[in-house]
Amino acid sequence: MKTQVTLVLKEIPSLPVEAELINPENVTEKGIPEIKSMLLWCGNRQERVGDYFEVEITSLEESKNGVADPVLNSVNKGEGNLARLVLQGDLSKFKRLGQGMAAGEMLIQGSAGFHAGALMRGGTLLIEENAGDWLGAHMEGGQILVKGSAGHFVGSAYRGKTKGMTGGRILIGGDAGQMLGARMGRGLIAVEGDCGDVPGFGMMAGTILIQGTSGIRVGANMRRGTVILLQSKKLLPTFYYNCTYELPFWRLLYNQLIQAGFSLPASYQDVSFRRYSGDANEGGKGEILICHCP
Amino acid sequence: MYLNGVEIEETFAEAFTMRGTRLTVTAVNERWARHAALAATGFATSVIGCGVEAGIEGPAVSTPDGRFGLDCLFFAFSKEDMEKHLIKRIGQAIMTAPTSACFDGELPEFQGQDDAVSKLNIGGKLRFFGDGYQASKVIGNVRYWRIPVMEGEFLIQEDFSVVKGIGGGNFLILAESAGAALLASEAAVEAMRAVRGVILPFPGGVVRSGSQVGSNYKFLSASTNTAYCPTIRGRLDSLLPAGVNSVLEIVIDGLTFESVSRAMQVGIIAASQVQGVKRITAGNYGGRLGKHHFHLQEILR
């Protein structure tokens, strides 16, 4: 029987907590004492889940007041008997939640700290409020849904690494910070709100969509891949204009985003795009598509 | 057995296992989708002479890009043949048609039968037409290729699903006149068009020059179906009953035995309701060559 494990935060910690062990796979088929004894690091101090959370385990059929999110339910069919993991409270001090998770569903009813969903390989991570920096960094698969805003370096490569996110999708309901999708190589990042400077920096493949306004230097140093801007933007001089046209794959992407619960007005369904190629400093094989709204 | 006064001969249609695939061709409107689909499925009546058998199955229920689309079915003897012909036909007939895009029809009939479905990489080979300027885009775990063309961009899915289908289902309408045979054929085709998962690859769905295996000439492997040719009835052992002066054949290719069987059923029923039809029979090779046998009387029961 599929179960739901709920971790209820007792008190917001004063220092950041490294919580990379908290993911659906690690709590499945464990009892409450086992889950409470899972290790966390707070600075140089080793602590346990039970120090920060109350733990409840219920069968999924009984947890009518638990997760009833249609997005989670629609994307996680066939995830076997992995427990659904729900975290309640302001977890903005908890880093690396859902890091490396390969399957299952994890719901954070609150905010998440840095590195949430980093190195993720599968499954779904839903954050109902805000996410910190490095959300989905080096992500390989699965999907991350953030109803609030996300910090800097979403889906990016860590310092010293050459390739960031290589698969999966990250959908952000609010705004995103700087360096969105920096050095990403495949995957999809979509932001309903605004975005900071240099989105798509050095990207090598994949797709970034920004519905709101974006900061300066969009796509700087990008080698390949696609940045889609639904609001007009002055680009770097190393991007050159090609044409204005109806993008054949736009309807497919639009439909996929709508199905995933991303909010895009119907007026964007049939639009043309101005296509720019660049960054010319890096070969010019990337593209920025700017919505040509009449 | 008689149906609406028409004799249904106790025989069977003998059909063969072929590789089948479904393409969904979309365009800005029905006109251009149909131009592309007609060209892609043109001159694809018989696998012997054309290398592939193809036809328009009907309007797509839904399309990936939300535009009007037509589902087309293609049948070939092998996956290699299928790949060769799809690349040619998509490249020459669909990519060339303004506003068109081409997607895998996905074969929902085989849902849950992963072992039965294999993939052919078509888009990944056509992409080279882009001369290095092509780009791919992965949307929902499916890879599409974007090929720059003079009009804008041609979008094609990378992989197309292929299954073992059935080619060569058939029945023959024996009528007292050519007019009656044609009317009956038209009625049959109209009824059969409503069945999904099948195509009638010949012009208008009808064949007037059915063939037999072999020939009096050494250089021919097939020749006219002499036993059913009314103009030479007196010169050989004809299979035509008295009063029959014209025969037309309907050939059916389908993705499943059930779809071919269903199409034959509705087609025979419709043909039997036309005045002047004397007998309905089917072509076979004594059961020696084809794996799939469609017994007419069983189908109608």
Mark which of B163, B191, B215 sits at the end of a domain: B163
Residues B153 and B225 in one domain: no
**Min CA distance, B99 vs chain A (Å)?**
9
Query: CB distance A249–B139 less than 8 Å?
Result: yes
Residues B149 and B254 in one domain: no
Residues B226 and B284 in one domain: yes
- Token pair for residue B3? 């149906």
Determine the pLDDT at residue B195.
Answer: 97
Do residues A201 and A175 lie in contact, with contact meaning Cβ atoms separated by under 8 Å? no
Of A245, A256, A269, the CB nearest to B152: A245
- The count of other CB atoms within 10 Å of the CB of residue B70 is 23
Of A186, A224, A248, the CB nearest to B101: A248
Domain span at B130: 19-163
**Min CA distance, A43 vs chain B (Å)?**
40
Of A224, A255, A285, the CB nearest to B66: A255
User: B111 by DSSP, 3-state: which?
Assistant: coil
Query: CB distance B154–A252 less than 8 Å?
Result: no
Query: CB distance A252–B64 less than 8 Å?
Result: yes
* pLDDT class of A125 with cuts at 50, 70, 90: very high
B29 touches chain A (CB under 8 A): no
Chain B nearest-CA residue for A259: B140
B154 touches chain A (CB under 8 A): yes
Residues B238 and B136 in one domain: no
Residues B138 and B173 in one domain: no
A251 touches chain B (CB under 8 A): yes
Task: Tell me the C-alpha to C-alpha distance, in Å, between residue A67 and each of A4, A87, A108.
Answer: 9, 11, 10
Backbone angles phi, psi at B153, to 5 degrees: -150, 135
How long, in residues, is chain B? Answer: 301
- The count of other CB atoms within 10 Å of the CB of residue A66 is 17
Q: Report domain extents, chain A.
A: 130-292
Residues B66 and B78 in one domain: yes
Find the mean pLDDT for residues A95-111.
96
Mark which of B163, B194, B225 sits at the end of a domain: B163
Find the mean pLDDT for residues A88-93.
96
Cis peptide before A133 (omega within 30 of 0): no
Residues B93 and B208 in one domain: no
Q: What is the pTM of this model?
A: 0.92
B150 touches chain A (CB under 8 A): no
Residues of chain A positioned with their CB less than 8 A from the CB of B146: 248-249
Do residues A229 and A214 lie in contact, with contact meaning Cβ atoms separated by under 8 Å? yes
Determine the pLDDT at residue A1.
Answer: 74
Determine the pLDDT at residue A65.
Answer: 52
Directed axis angle between helix B257-272 and helix B178-192, to 10°? 140
Residues B198 and B176 in one domain: yes
Q: What DSSP line would sit under B39-62, residue for residue?
A: HHTTT-S-HHHHS-EEEEEEE-S-
Query: CB distance A251–B144 less than 8 Å?
Result: no
Distance of CA A22 to the CA centre of its chain: 17
The yes-or-no verdict on residue A64 having pLDDT over 60 is: no
Query: CB distance B152–A252 less than 8 Å?
Result: no
Residues of chain A positioned with their CB less than 8 A from the CB of B135: 224, 285, 287
pLDDT in tens, A239-285: 999 999 999 999 999 999 999 999 999 999 999 999 999 999 999 99
**Min CA distance, A177 vs chain B (Å)?**
24
Chain B nearest-CA residue for A253: B139
Find the mean pLDDT for residues A131-142.
97
Mark which of B163, B197, B226 sits at the end of a domain: B163
Query: CB distance B139–A256 less than 8 Å?
Result: yes
A228 touches chain B (CB under 8 A): no
What is the rounded distance in angstroms from the CA atom of residue A19 to the CA atom of residue A89? Answer: 14
Domain count along chain B: 2
CATH no. for residue B139? 3.30.70.520
B48-51 long-range Cβ contacts below 8 angstroms, 24+ apart? B48/B221, B48/B222, B51/B76, B51/B81, B51/B84, B51/B85
Residues B9 and B63 in one domain: no
Task: Tell me the C-alpha to C-alpha distance, in Å, between residue A124 and each of A50, A71, A208, B16.
Answer: 24, 9, 19, 46
> Average pLDDT of chain A?
92
Residues B104 and B52 in one domain: yes
Residues of chain A positioned with their CB less than 8 A from the CB of B152: 243, 245-246, 248
Determine the pLDDT at residue A60.
Answer: 81
Instruction: Calculate ∠ Cα B193-B196-B198, nearest 5°.
Output: 75
Residue B279's Cβ-side half-sphere holds a number of Cα atoms within 13 Å equal to 16
* pLDDT class of A70 with cuts at 50, 70, 90: very low
* pLDDT class of A79 with cuts at 50, 70, 90: low
Q: A with B: how many residue pairs have Cβ under 8 Å apart?
A: 41
Chain A, residues 44-103, CB within 8 A of chain B, namely none
What is the rounded distance in angstroms from the CA atom of residue B20 to the CA atom of residue B161? Answer: 9
User: B2 by DSSP, 3-state: which?
Assistant: strand
The yes-or-no verdict on residue A75 having pLDDT over 50 is: no
pLDDT in tens, A16-41: 999 999 999 999 999 999 999 999 99
DSSP state of B114: G
- Check residue A179 and give left, alpha or beta (phi > 0: left; psi -120 to 50: alpha): left
A186 touches chain B (CB under 8 A): yes
Residues B146 and B101 in one domain: yes
Determine the pLDDT at residue B114.
Answer: 87
Residues B25 and B158 in one domain: yes
What is the rounded distance in angstroms from the CA atom of residue B258 to the CA atom of residue A114? Answer: 56
Query: CB distance B137–A207 less than 8 Å?
Result: yes
Mean pLDDT by 10 residues, chain B (301 residues): 95 96 98 98 93 97 96 97 97 98 94 92 97 95 96 97 96 97 98 97 96 92 94 95 97 97 98 97 88 95 87
